[in-house]
Amino acid sequence: MKDAGSGLTEAIKNKSLRAIAAVSYQDIACGLAHEMMDLIRPCEHRKFSPPFKMLIIDSGGSVVFECRVSKDGKVRPVGLVPIVQDSDFPATALLTDSSFVTRTFRIEHPVTSCPNN
């Protein structure tokens, strides 16, 4: 006898996995870079502006994404872009500018807020 509820559970699980897969690390990095620039510009005395180098480190401490953010806000990945996995989160993003000032951000969930999308 088959459990009638298992089909619904499987459908929800598949939809959740597709939603995560639709978000890329490049999208996450783009959204984070734009959000960070908007936050820091008005309140910082010290200049902190692009270009940046960004690392995203997963919950296990491994670097899962590395990129450069240009002055115009474009994200250029360094190396391969892995598939976003829910198990990578919460993650940490490190943004370093040309004067070696580093900002640290925690990423709770794989979402994007990139203005280019």
Token pair, residue 109, equals 């969930």
Res. 105: pLDDT tops 90: no
For residue 40, what are the CA distances in angstroms to 50, 72, 97, 116?
A: 12, 16, 13, 20
Q: What angle (nearest 5°) sits at the alpha carbon of residue 106, between those of residues 66 and 17? A: 75
Q: Is the pTM of this model over 0.75?
A: no
Taking the C-alpha atoms of residue 11 and residue 17, their distance in angstroms, rounded to an integer, is 10
Q: Measure the CA–CA gap between 23 and 65, rounded to whole angstroms.
A: 13
Amino acid code (one letter) for 46 = R
Give the model's pLDDT for residue 68: 93
Q: Could you read off the pLDDT of 5-42 as tens digits, one per residue?
A: 555 455 444 544 444 446 788 888 888 877 777 766 55
C-alpha pair distances (Å), 19 with each of 31, 32, 34, 56, 109: 17, 19, 22, 20, 12
The confidence score (pLDDT) of residue 71 equals 79
For the ranges 47-51, 70-74, 84-88, the lowest mean pLDDT is seen at 47-51
Binned at pLDDT 50, 70 and 90, residue 60 comes out as very high
Considering the chain, what is the average pLDDT of its residues?
75
1: pLDDT strictly greater than 50: no
Give, in degrees to the nearest 5, the angle at Cα 112 between 52 and 63: 50
